[in-house]
Structure 1
Amino acid sequence: MTRSPEISDFLAVSAKALRMSCTGEALRAAETVIGRFNTVGPAGGNAARLPVCDWIVPALAAVAPERAALGRTFAALEGQLEWKRRASARESDPQFWSGHANAMILGPGGLEEREDLWIGVTVMAPGVDYATHNHPPEEVYLSLSPGEWWNARMDWTDPGPTGCIYNPPGIAHAMRSGEGPFMAIWYLPL
């Protein structure tokens, strides 16, 4: 199996950004993620967009210089991704239903089918709270545009363009956008 140059570039820039941004538990998790980059999974993915994806271009326009390379390499992949709502989203909550989307880059339904690693992205319209949730794998986030994160071990925080967010395994966590669109990449070693 061969990997597309766009995915290779994205992963190389991701490794650099993770190593520059993470410390402690987050860096340990990031190194686990990076260690799995050499494995190439079978090609997958079916491009599909939701209306909230119209916020991707404005979100990418807000990328700070420190994350510009990550934004560029993500933009090269974006049109190939299958954007979906969180499975728990309900039309009875129109702000969340219409205001968010997730896409898998590596992992189930991603551009590479993987069982050992999930890398994906979330986009949210302004003023959206992402539902509090948890999952067994730990998780590291890198922001591409301003936004805030919360988990049961920390108050709401924006890591800025040089920080990262770490969620330990199974911890309750959430995200929210502010006055502008929100976009972040997430990395989960399974």
Structure 2
Amino acid sequence: MGYYELTAKTTLLLCLVLGAAAVAGCSTPPSNNILRQVPAVYVFSDSTLDVGNNYLPGKNVPRADRPYYGIDMPGSSKPNRRFISIYSATITELYRMGPRMFAIINVGLAGCLPIARVLSATGACSDSRNKLAAGFNDALRSLLAGLPGRLPGLAYPLADSYGIMATVFADPLESGFTDVSSACSTGRLGVGGCQVTSTVCANHDQHYF
């Protein structure tokens, strides 16, 4: 059970926790008279791939160094405020459509992903990337804490992907992993890319990535 399996199970747990509440809440229409047709839980999570696709061609591709995606500006050490504003705007817009319950997963240890480790000669985690992730999570937590005051009835759990990864990485064997640094693929630290000729390791269940 690796990174994506853990994320999926965390999401499923959040949905189960909110499921009964969502069903119970579907009988109460929102103030703008838009009736909720189906009880639902909206899940927001980070992505290690989709945000800031600087390698794709095209002027309309979201990029990490342009509004409104990605890091602030190159060379900045501040956690991104654009993502925070996008979270706020998206939740508010959905709220106006009727939803009242959201499940949100914060950003994990971005500096410990193999794609970050491979940039280090020793394969160590990137402290700067982890600090950026932690800074974003602090800003996200603060944002969410203030939303119910202006969006009555809003309910959300915030899953701590960052904390889960830190716990697993501190004692991998306790969680059944023998490798939490490299991906189960080809190339240094498994960061050789997904190619037709790529092979995966035999003990992939023991790899976090």
Q: TM-score w.r.t. structure 1 length?
A: 0.27
Which structure has the highest helix share of the two? 2
Q: Greater strand percent: which structure? A: 1
TM-score for both structures, normalised by structure 2: 0.26
More contact order relative to length (CA 8 Å, sep ≥ 6): 1
